[in-house]
Chain A
Protein backbone atom coordinates (compact mmCIF):
# COMPACT_ATOMS: atom_id res chain seq x y z
CA UNK A 1 0.00 0.00 0.00
CA UNK A 2 0.90 3.65 -0.23
CA UNK A 3 3.49 4.80 2.31
CA UNK A 4 4.02 8.23 3.77
CA UNK A 5 7.03 8.96 5.97
CA UNK A 6 7.86 11.86 8.25
CA UNK A 7 11.22 13.04 9.49
CA UNK A 8 12.15 13.54 12.20
CA UNK A 9 9.86 11.48 14.41
CA UNK A 10 10.90 13.37 17.56
CA UNK A 11 12.16 16.91 17.97
CA UNK A 12 13.22 18.57 21.21
CA UNK A 13 14.38 22.14 20.77
CA UNK A 14 14.93 25.35 22.66
CA UNK A 15 12.45 28.18 22.56
CA UNK A 16 13.16 30.55 19.67
CA UNK A 17 14.60 28.00 17.27
CA UNK A 18 13.01 26.93 14.01
CA UNK A 19 12.17 23.32 13.26
CA UNK A 20 11.64 21.75 9.84
CA UNK A 21 9.52 18.61 9.46
CA UNK A 22 9.55 16.63 6.23
CA UNK A 23 6.69 14.60 4.80
CA UNK A 24 7.45 12.23 1.94
CA UNK A 25 5.31 9.95 -0.17
CA UNK A 26 7.56 6.96 -0.76
CA UNK A 27 5.87 5.05 -3.55
CA UNK A 28 3.44 7.43 -5.19
CA UNK A 29 3.19 11.00 -6.40
CA UNK A 30 1.31 13.11 -3.92
CA UNK A 31 -0.54 15.86 -5.73
CA UNK A 32 -1.96 17.14 -2.46
CA UNK A 33 -0.55 17.00 1.04
CA UNK A 34 -2.25 17.95 4.28
CA UNK A 35 -0.71 19.03 7.57
CA UNK A 36 -2.53 18.33 10.81
CA UNK A 37 -1.85 19.12 14.44
CA UNK A 38 -3.00 16.90 17.26
CA UNK A 39 -3.14 17.34 21.01
CA UNK A 40 -3.48 14.23 23.22
CA UNK A 41 -6.69 12.28 22.66
CA UNK A 42 -8.10 15.03 20.50
CA UNK A 43 -9.10 15.10 16.88
CA UNK A 44 -6.66 16.02 14.21
CA UNK A 45 -6.88 19.72 13.39
CA UNK A 46 -6.23 20.54 9.77
CA UNK A 47 -3.65 23.28 9.52
CA UNK A 48 -3.17 23.61 5.79
CA UNK A 49 -3.56 21.96 2.41
CA UNK A 50 -0.74 22.13 -0.09
CA UNK A 51 -0.70 21.31 -3.76
CA UNK A 52 2.58 20.67 -5.53
CA UNK A 53 4.06 23.83 -6.95
CA UNK A 54 1.60 26.25 -5.43
CA UNK A 55 1.14 28.11 -2.16
CA UNK A 56 -0.47 26.29 0.72
CA UNK A 57 -4.03 27.06 1.75
CA UNK A 58 -4.17 27.66 5.49
CA UNK A 59 -7.14 27.03 7.73
CA UNK A 60 -8.62 29.92 9.65
CA UNK A 61 -6.65 30.68 12.78
CA UNK A 62 -3.40 29.11 11.60
CA UNK A 63 -0.53 31.61 11.40
CA UNK A 64 1.05 31.45 7.97
CA UNK A 65 4.25 33.11 9.11
CA UNK A 66 4.53 30.75 12.06
CA UNK A 67 3.96 27.52 10.15
CA UNK A 68 5.68 27.72 6.77
CA UNK A 69 4.64 25.02 4.33
CA UNK A 70 6.45 24.19 1.12
CA UNK A 71 5.42 21.51 -1.38
CA UNK A 72 8.28 21.70 -3.83
CA UNK A 73 7.90 18.29 -5.44
CA UNK A 74 5.34 15.55 -5.90
CA UNK A 75 6.93 13.50 -3.14
CA UNK A 76 7.96 16.06 -0.54
CA UNK A 77 6.27 18.68 1.60
CA UNK A 78 7.90 20.49 4.51
CA UNK A 79 6.46 22.24 7.53
CA UNK A 80 8.72 24.72 9.29
CA UNK A 81 7.74 25.90 12.74
CA UNK A 82 9.46 29.27 13.02
CA UNK A 83 10.65 30.70 16.32
CA UNK A 84 9.09 27.83 18.24
CA UNK A 85 7.70 28.41 21.72
CA UNK A 86 6.57 25.88 24.36
CA UNK A 87 2.92 26.33 23.38
CA UNK A 88 3.83 25.05 19.90
CA UNK A 89 4.62 21.64 21.38
CA UNK A 90 2.29 19.04 19.88
CA UNK A 91 2.07 16.15 17.44
CA UNK A 92 2.20 17.03 13.75
CA UNK A 93 0.82 14.58 11.21
CA UNK A 94 0.89 14.84 7.45
CA UNK A 95 -1.17 12.99 4.91
CA UNK A 96 -1.06 12.73 1.15
CA UNK A 97 -3.38 11.95 -1.71
CA UNK A 98 -2.62 11.16 -5.31
CA UNK A 99 -4.57 12.12 -8.40
CA UNK A 100 -5.39 8.43 -8.87
CA UNK A 101 -7.40 8.26 -5.62
CA UNK A 102 -8.25 11.72 -4.42
CA UNK A 103 -10.74 10.39 -1.88
CA UNK A 104 -8.09 8.43 0.01
CA UNK A 105 -5.61 10.04 2.37
CA UNK A 106 -2.47 8.19 3.41
CA UNK A 107 -1.25 9.31 6.80
CA UNK A 108 2.30 9.68 8.05
CA UNK A 109 3.47 8.39 11.44
CA UNK A 110 3.63 11.83 12.97
CA UNK A 111 6.33 14.09 14.42
CA UNK A 112 6.34 14.90 18.09
CA UNK A 113 7.63 18.41 18.84
CA UNK A 114 8.66 19.46 22.33
CA UNK A 115 9.80 23.03 22.78
CA UNK A 116 11.62 23.74 26.03
Chain B
Protein backbone atom coordinates (compact mmCIF):
# COMPACT_ATOMS: atom_id res chain seq x y z
CA UNK B 1 0.00 0.00 0.00
CA UNK B 2 0.92 3.63 -0.20
CA UNK B 3 2.08 5.37 2.93
CA UNK B 4 3.43 8.71 4.07
CA UNK B 5 4.89 9.05 7.56
CA UNK B 6 5.68 12.25 9.41
CA UNK B 7 5.78 13.04 13.14
CA UNK B 8 2.49 14.06 14.68
CA UNK B 9 3.82 16.97 16.68
CA UNK B 10 7.07 18.84 17.27
CA UNK B 11 8.04 21.66 19.59
CA UNK B 12 10.82 24.18 18.99
CA UNK B 13 12.05 27.48 20.36
CA UNK B 14 11.77 30.86 18.66
CA UNK B 15 14.97 31.64 16.74
CA UNK B 16 16.04 28.00 16.55
CA UNK B 17 16.10 25.51 13.66
CA UNK B 18 13.71 22.58 13.24
CA UNK B 19 13.68 19.69 10.77
CA UNK B 20 10.45 17.91 9.92
CA UNK B 21 10.97 14.51 8.34
CA UNK B 22 8.75 12.70 5.90
CA UNK B 23 9.19 9.14 4.65
CA UNK B 24 7.10 7.65 1.89
CA UNK B 25 6.26 4.45 0.07
CA UNK B 26 4.20 5.07 -3.03
CA UNK B 27 3.36 3.57 -6.39
CA UNK B 28 5.65 5.67 -8.51
CA UNK B 29 6.88 9.16 -7.83
CA UNK B 30 6.14 12.43 -9.55
CA UNK B 31 7.33 14.82 -6.90
CA UNK B 32 6.97 15.66 -3.24
CA UNK B 33 5.22 18.73 -1.88
CA UNK B 34 5.38 20.53 1.43
CA UNK B 35 2.49 22.72 2.56
CA UNK B 36 1.97 24.91 5.60
CA UNK B 37 -1.48 25.10 7.09
CA UNK B 38 -2.55 27.48 9.84
CA UNK B 39 -5.66 26.51 11.76
CA UNK B 40 -8.80 27.41 9.85
CA UNK B 41 -6.93 28.34 6.67
CA UNK B 42 -6.16 26.62 3.37
CA UNK B 43 -2.78 24.94 2.97
CA UNK B 44 -0.07 27.18 1.53
CA UNK B 45 2.41 25.76 -0.95
CA UNK B 46 5.99 25.78 0.39
CA UNK B 47 8.05 23.59 -1.90
CA UNK B 48 8.14 20.97 -4.62
CA UNK B 49 11.01 18.50 -5.02
CA UNK B 50 11.26 16.03 -7.86
CA UNK B 51 15.05 15.61 -8.04
CA UNK B 52 17.40 14.61 -5.23
CA UNK B 53 18.98 17.35 -3.24
CA UNK B 54 18.31 20.46 -1.26
CA UNK B 55 16.11 23.33 -2.41
CA UNK B 56 16.49 26.50 -0.42
CA UNK B 57 13.90 29.23 -0.32
CA UNK B 58 14.56 31.89 2.29
CA UNK B 59 14.20 30.50 5.80
CA UNK B 60 12.71 27.26 4.46
CA UNK B 61 14.62 24.45 2.74
CA UNK B 62 13.41 21.10 1.51
CA UNK B 63 15.51 18.01 0.88
CA UNK B 64 14.70 14.90 -1.11
CA UNK B 65 16.31 11.47 -1.43
CA UNK B 66 14.30 9.35 -3.83
CA UNK B 67 16.38 6.21 -3.21
CA UNK B 68 15.59 6.41 0.50
CA UNK B 69 11.99 7.56 0.11
CA UNK B 70 12.79 10.44 2.40
CA UNK B 71 12.35 14.17 2.57
CA UNK B 72 12.70 16.84 5.20
CA UNK B 73 11.59 20.41 5.60
CA UNK B 74 14.07 22.62 7.41
CA UNK B 75 12.89 25.82 9.03
CA UNK B 76 15.51 28.29 10.23
CA UNK B 77 15.27 31.34 12.50
CA UNK B 78 11.91 30.18 13.74
CA UNK B 79 9.25 32.79 14.33
CA UNK B 80 6.07 32.50 16.34
CA UNK B 81 4.06 32.74 13.11
CA UNK B 82 5.65 29.48 11.96
CA UNK B 83 3.42 27.65 14.43
CA UNK B 84 1.25 25.62 12.08
CA UNK B 85 0.74 22.18 10.63
CA UNK B 86 3.16 21.07 7.93
CA UNK B 87 1.85 18.62 5.38
CA UNK B 88 3.97 16.31 3.24
CA UNK B 89 2.34 15.00 0.05
CA UNK B 90 3.69 12.78 -2.72
CA UNK B 91 2.33 12.65 -6.25
CA UNK B 92 2.26 9.05 -7.41
CA UNK B 93 2.51 7.52 -10.88
CA UNK B 94 -1.16 8.33 -11.54
CA UNK B 95 -0.60 11.96 -10.55
CA UNK B 96 -2.66 11.43 -7.43
CA UNK B 97 -1.62 13.14 -4.20
CA UNK B 98 -0.88 10.90 -1.26
CA UNK B 99 -1.05 12.99 1.90
CA UNK B 100 0.78 12.64 5.19
CA UNK B 101 -1.22 13.28 8.34
CA UNK B 102 0.65 16.51 8.98
CA UNK B 103 3.08 17.62 11.68
CA UNK B 104 1.85 20.16 14.17
CA UNK B 105 4.72 22.51 14.95
CA UNK B 106 4.56 24.43 18.22
CA UNK B 107 6.94 27.37 18.64
CA UNK B 108 7.72 28.50 22.18
CA UNK B 109 9.20 31.89 23.08
Contact = CB atoms under 8 A, between A and B. Distances in A.
B94 A9 contact: yes
A87 interface: no
B95 A112 contact: yes
Contacts of A46: 42
B40 to A, nearest CB: 9
Interface in A81-116: 93, 103-107, 109-110, 112
A42 B42 CA distance: 12
Contacts of A112: 95
B45 A43 contact: yes
B101 interface: yes
B98 interface: yes
Interface string B53-97: 000000000000000000000000000000000010100001111
A26 interface: no
A43 B101 contact: no
Contacts of A42: 45
Interface string A37-50: 00001111110000
Interface of B: 35, 37, 39, 42-45, 48, 87, 89, 94-99, 101-102
28 contacts: A9-B94, A10-B94, A10-B95, A36-B43, A41-B48, A42-B45, A43-B35, A43-B42, A43-B43, A43-B44, A43-B45, A44-B42, A46-B42, A103-B39, A104-B101, A104-B102, A105-B37, A106-B99, A107-B87, A107-B89, A107-B97, A107-B99, A109-B96, A109-B97, A109-B98, A109-B99, A110-B96, A110-B97
Interface of A: 1, 9-10, 36, 41-46, 93, 103-107, 109-110, 112
